[in-house]
Structure 1
Amino acid sequence: MGGKVVFKEYDPDQLTFLPYKLEELVPQGHPVRIVSKVVDQVDVKPINRKYKGGGASSFHPRLMLKLLIYGYLTNTYSSRKLEDQAAQNVHFMWLLGMKKPDHNTINRFRSEKLSGVLKEIFSHIVLLLQQEGIVSLKEAVFTDGTKIESVANKYTFVWGKSIKNSKEKMKAQLDELWSYAQTIAAEELKDTAPLEYSEINPEKVKETISKINAALDDKEDVDKKVRQKLNYAKKHWPENLARYDEQEKLLGGRNSFSKTDPGATFMRMKEDPMLNGQLKPGYNLQISTQEQFILNYSLHQTTTDYQTLPSHIEQYETLYHALPKAVVADAGYGSDENYGVLQQKGIEAYIKYNTFDQEQNKGIKAFGNDSLHYNEQEDYLVCPMGQHMQHIGTGQRVSTSGYVQLISRYQAQNCENCPMRGVCHQAAGNRVVEINHSLRIHKQIAKERLNTEQGIKYRKRRPADVEPVFANLKHNHGFRRFLLKGMSKTEVEIGLLSIAHNLRKWKA
């Protein structure tokens, strides 16, 4: 038989000789102490300048910053949950000195006071990491991007192509009305010209419809359907065009935006539960890391990574008045513009181009443009059969980012009886090849650099440095969707997340 069961004494109303101190309940080395210590060293003057003064007293910016950073460090992103933690969680209570800001105060501070200044705070913390010898701002950084979903409804989209099609359809219908009116009232419209596409705006369309109406007003044989269409056009078209103009301003060169979060662009999300890559409103997050610490972050509305690198590097230079020795990135960043920008700034580009991996595994594609020998002195290409392809002209190609590329064209002299024609060239006439010599040279340099001993080390290190950071943020800490709307507010969220990530790792 077992002995007598003994329970520890339990009395929830029992008093202690001395009251507990919160200091005693927070262990040394706890992450909340790291947050408090680091934020105490940060200059919060940029936030102070956001306060107007007068009225009731405010919670100190340093206190509010600690609350938000520790909240994001502990996966507490909601302002209401942060309010609860401030009243219930011992670590939050110690951090805030028993102060209890409500959720409205927390949200206003995050949305308004940190907007436009948090990157400066973030950079101060990175500089502290550098002082500790943990990171170096002048060594290589590893850059990559990921898409993060907006809080906006995914069914509230506006497409740039749809707006263009609607305006073209409106122009075509207006041309039909104009042609019809000319057949009946040519005399009344003799001093008026039809609208060009560039003139499709609310004022011009309204004016044109009024002239057509006036010309047909006293005509008895006007088709009833034409009158109905004119009445509809007069009532709706100017209003629709005004809306299209506003939407095009919000697009700002993008192909889409969300009605409920105009800052968000529709992007294909890999994390879709059905793994079919659904289009959802979101933002393109770019980070540069070193030893898995985030040294630079930027948020973009473009769906492609290569367009983000110039401004991302520009921001790095603005924040730290320094540039990294090298940038290591995957083939998504391998463009003529990016290679040129990094070269101009004296940064070594360890960036793959789109066919690098294929060339490593299978060699250069036979009969492809890259397989043709180029004679730089005499400016001609040599085809697979040894025939000279002469330079026949130069043109320009503008990328989606607005970057102008110089394109040289070369043509073979006689492809008609060539035994290689079937595999080399199938179009009519002699083969014509277009070459971007700037990109060709950049690719040669990139290939040589990536295959050096240092390049191979960087290529192996890149997936282990930057990619785990995204995995940590999204999967370990559950941040797959923004809580706030608009570029300025979502940038604050990413800033808080990046600071929290660095402090979490610093402690580890």
Structure 2
Amino acid sequence: MGRFVEGADRSQLSFLPECLEDLVDEDNPVQVIEAFVEALDLPALGFDGAMPANTGRPAYHPAVLLKLYIYGYLNRVQSSRRLEREAGRNVELMWLLGRLVPDHKTIADFRKDNGRALRQVCVRFVALCRQMGLLAGGTVVVDGSKFKAVNNRDRNFTHAKMARRVAQIEESIARYLHQLDSADRQEPSEAIATKTARLKEKVSRLRQEMDRLAALDGLMRQTTDQQISLTDPDSRSMATSGRGSGVVGYNVQVAVETEHHLIVTHEVTNVGNDRAQLAPMAKAARQTLGAEDLHVIADRGYFDGDQIRECVEAGLTVTLPKPQTSGAKANGRFGKQDFAYLPEQDAYRCPAGAILPYHYSNVEHGMELRRYWSTAACLACAIKWQCTPSKERRITRWVHEHLVEDVQRRLDANPYLMRVRRETVEHPFGTIKARMGATHVLMKRLPNVAAEMALHVLAYNLTRVMNIIGRRGLIAAIKAA
């Protein structure tokens, strides 16, 4: 007769090993966390409470709470309340924390009060990766991704959202007032009185909402970006890749090296686009890697002439596609790329073969622009209808346009780099968001979100290095550093 596997008797006296060391083998990830945290100089990194006070109740050492957080972010447990529960029932955490069980308020305050120090821990592990030779490559990929904040879309206001909401309320008020007029024309009764009172209450609430929106509109107009969020004031409404979709959150920037897909550096911003992020991220990556020559790859969202110029002047090589924003090309006419620049003549050759000479320069948005055209050539052109509906076609050239052209030539010669970009940088973001369980952060305000993201990046890099060189190899490297 068959039988099932039987569990242990719950009434036995020694259900777990008496020695904590017997709970965890040498290849367990908590051994890596233990070795890494014990090797850190926590006071130098800026952790509060690293030295015990002479009076008052004994506090938890910051190493205990740091180990708890690193373990939690490695295992998809980021909530302070869930970490408290895990500390009391998880045998790995019993070993790691010496059976200490901090309360959730202590756990939450540690993350909130030590944001700068937590970011330094992430930087310290990247430095360790560099010492181990895992960041020896000369190419990084820069990209950004949106993470939802603790702020509902209904509690974020822009001018467009405010106008739509006010229009909806005005329409509702008009509808209720019309119903009140209809009720006044009917014979008085208890039902009509109840209906009238209910409608008046609705109109009153809507008018209060109009007053609230008017006050919010005044506050919104005082902000630099003409936007306001009520739950998390630092979060901003941002467009995402889905058409017509968006998110109220933060824009997380990363620079990832192409060999091992480790995150070299990262930054959290509340700016919804990437156009001003290329040079800062590239320079930060080079400083972290300590490399003189660095090749930076990005997508078209980072394309900005000034950013490219700043990178080139800093000695950085950049490769990214130029977005096709030409209205002429969209309408089926020749685009600027169909005109060839002749540097020896400082002129353009149009698709019909005519020469468009330089006429004058002016400055727009801080950029010196040069203008080229030939009215006579355009008037006599047989294919002018394919070029412009105006009297002549004018070409504008930025004074540093040759830098942009070098970037395009580099991409044309190495089109596979866009595949490298996609395969490199989508991996970390996908892993981090999968580990989060969702794409939202738990904390409010930009500095706190930056600290939370540093823990995510640290957990990702730890996992990658353990997979690359093994847990025992990483422990040996930590002790040797």
* Match 1:422 to one of 385, 405, 426: 385
Alignment partners' CA distance in 2, 1:50 and 1:128: 23
CA shift for structure 1 position 312:
2.5
The answer on whether the counterparts of 2:17 and 2:23 sit within 8 Å (CA) in structure 1 is no
CA shift for structure 1 position 147:
0.6
1:433 is aligned to 2:392: no
CA RMSD between the two structures: 3.3
* Match 1:370 to one of 331, 337, 350: 337
Q: Cα gap change, 1:70/1:57 in structure 2, threshold over 3 Å: closer, same or farther?
A: same
CA shift for structure 1 position 391:
2.3
1:260 is aligned to 2:223: no
1:312 is aligned to 2:273: no
Q: What amino acid is aligned across from residue 385 of structure 2 in structure 1?
A: G
Which residue of 1 is the match for residue 177 of structure 2?
A: none
Q: Cα deviations across residues 112-152 of structure 1 (Å, max 9, x unaligned)? A: 12x2233222111011112222223x621111111111111
Q: What amino acid is aligned across from residue 40 of structure 2 in structure 1?
A: V
1:443 is aligned to 2:410: no
Alignment gaps of 5+ in structure 1: 166-238, 357-361, 399-403
CA shift for structure 1 position 346:
1.0
Structure 2 matches for 1:321-400, cutoff 5 A? 325-355=294-324, 367-398=334-365
CA shift for structure 1 position 266:
0.4
CA shift for structure 1 position 374:
2.3
CA shift for structure 1 position 8:
5.1
Structure 2 matches for 1:36-185, cutoff 5 A? 36-48=34-46, 50-51=48-49, 55-113=56-114, 115-136=115-136, 139-159=138-158
Q: Cα gap change, 1:80/1:497 in structure 2, threshold over 3 Å: closer, same or farther?
A: same
* Match 2:32 to one of 31, 34, 49: 34
Structure 2 matches for 1:225-264, cutoff 5 A? 246-248=219-221, 251-253=223-225, 255-264=226-235
Alignment partners' CA distance in 2, 1:157 and 1:8: 56
The answer on whether the counterparts of 1:390 and 1:411 sit within 8 Å (CA) in structure 2 is yes
Q: Cα gap change, 1:324/1:496 in structure 2, threshold over 3 Å: closer, same or farther?
A: farther
Q: What amino acid is aligned across from residue 135 of structure 1 in structure 2?
A: L
Q: Cα gap change, 1:241/1:46 in structure 2, threshold over 3 Å: closer, same or farther?
A: farther
Q: What amino acid is aligned across from residue 93 of structure 2 in structure 1?
A: F
Q: What amino acid is aligned across from residue 410 of structure 2 in structure 1?
A: R
The answer on whether the counterparts of 2:238 and 2:249 sit within 8 Å (CA) in structure 1 is yes
Q: What amino acid is aligned across from residue 406 of structure 2 in structure 1?
A: I
The answer on whether the counterparts of 1:316 and 1:323 sit within 8 Å (CA) in structure 2 is no
Alignment partners' CA distance in 2, 1:7 and 1:299: 51
Q: What amino acid is aligned across from residue 451 of structure 2 in structure 1?
A: V
The answer on whether the counterparts of 2:255 and 2:285 sit within 8 Å (CA) in structure 1 is no
Alignment partners' CA distance in 1, 2:22 and 2:60: 25
The answer on whether the counterparts of 2:348 and 2:355 sit within 8 Å (CA) in structure 1 is yes
Kindly tell me the number of residue pairs found equivalent between the two proteins.
412
Q: What amino acid is aligned across from residue 442 of structure 1 in structure 2?
A: L
CA shift for structure 1 position 285:
0.8
Which residue of 2 is the match for residue 489 of structure 1?
A: 448
Alignment partners' CA distance in 2, 1:458 and 1:24: 49
SS of alignment partner, residue 141 of structure 1: strand
Which residue of 1 is the match for residue 462 of structure 2?
A: 503
CA shift for structure 1 position 107:
0.8
The answer on whether the counterparts of 1:141 and 1:328 sit within 8 Å (CA) in structure 2 is yes
Alignment partners' CA distance in 1, 2:34 and 2:47: 22
CA shift for structure 1 position 324:
6.2
* Match 1:465 to one of 403, 421, 424: 424
Q: Cα gap change, 1:14/1:126 in structure 2, threshold over 3 Å: closer, same or farther?
A: same
Alignment partners' CA distance in 2, 1:16 and 1:347: 63
CA shift for structure 1 position 473:
1.4
Alignment partners' CA distance in 2, 1:155 and 1:243: 13
The answer on whether the counterparts of 2:156 and 2:227 sit within 8 Å (CA) in structure 1 is yes
CA shift for structure 1 position 109:
0.8
Alignment partners' CA distance in 2, 1:394 and 1:17: 84
SS of alignment partner, residue 430 of structure 1: coil
Alignment partners' CA distance in 1, 2:7 and 2:369: 85
Which residue of 1 is the match for residue 206 of structure 2?
A: none
Q: What amino acid is aligned across from residue 425 of structure 2 in structure 1?
A: V
CA shift for structure 1 position 40:
1.9
Alignment partners' CA distance in 1, 2:3 and 2:160: 77
Q: What amino acid is aligned across from residue 354 of structure 2 in structure 1?
A: Q
CA shift for structure 1 position 338:
2.0
Q: Cα gap change, 1:457/1:35 in structure 2, threshold over 3 Å: closer, same or farther?
A: farther
Q: Under a length normalisation based on structure 1, what TM-score does the superposition of the two structures give?
A: 0.73
Q: Cα gap change, 1:55/1:395 in structure 2, threshold over 3 Å: closer, same or farther?
A: farther
Identity between Structure 1 and Structure 2 (%): 26
Answer with 119-128 or 10-19: which moved more: 10-19
CA shift for structure 1 position 305:
1.4
Alignment gaps of 5+ in structure 2: 165-211, 468-481
Alignment partners' CA distance in 1, 2:83 and 2:334: 62
Alignment partners' CA distance in 2, 1:477 and 1:243: 33
Q: What amino acid is aligned across from residue 416 of structure 1 in structure 2?
A: L
Q: What amino acid is aligned across from residue 501 of structure 1 in structure 2?
A: Y
The answer on whether the counterparts of 2:146 and 2:247 sit within 8 Å (CA) in structure 1 is no
Q: Under a length normalisation based on structure 2, what TM-score does the superposition of the two structures give?
A: 0.77
Answer with 275-284 or 496-505: which moved more: 275-284
CA shift for structure 1 position 55:
4.0
Alignment partners' CA distance in 1, 2:284 and 2:435: 28
1:280 is aligned to 2:243: no
Alignment partners' CA distance in 1, 2:124 and 2:156: 38
Q: Cα gap change, 1:425/1:19 in structure 2, threshold over 3 Å: closer, same or farther?
A: closer
The answer on whether the counterparts of 1:331 and 1:352 sit within 8 Å (CA) in structure 2 is yes
Answer with 38-47 or 151-160: which moved more: 38-47
Alignment partners' CA distance in 2, 1:12 and 1:46: 47
Alignment partners' CA distance in 1, 2:6 and 2:348: 90
The answer on whether the counterparts of 1:43 and 1:124 sit within 8 Å (CA) in structure 2 is no
CA shift for structure 1 position 462:
2.1
CA shift for structure 1 position 314:
4.3
SS of alignment partner, residue 426 of structure 1: coil
SS of alignment partner, residue 375 of structure 2: coil
CA shift for structure 1 position 423:
0.5
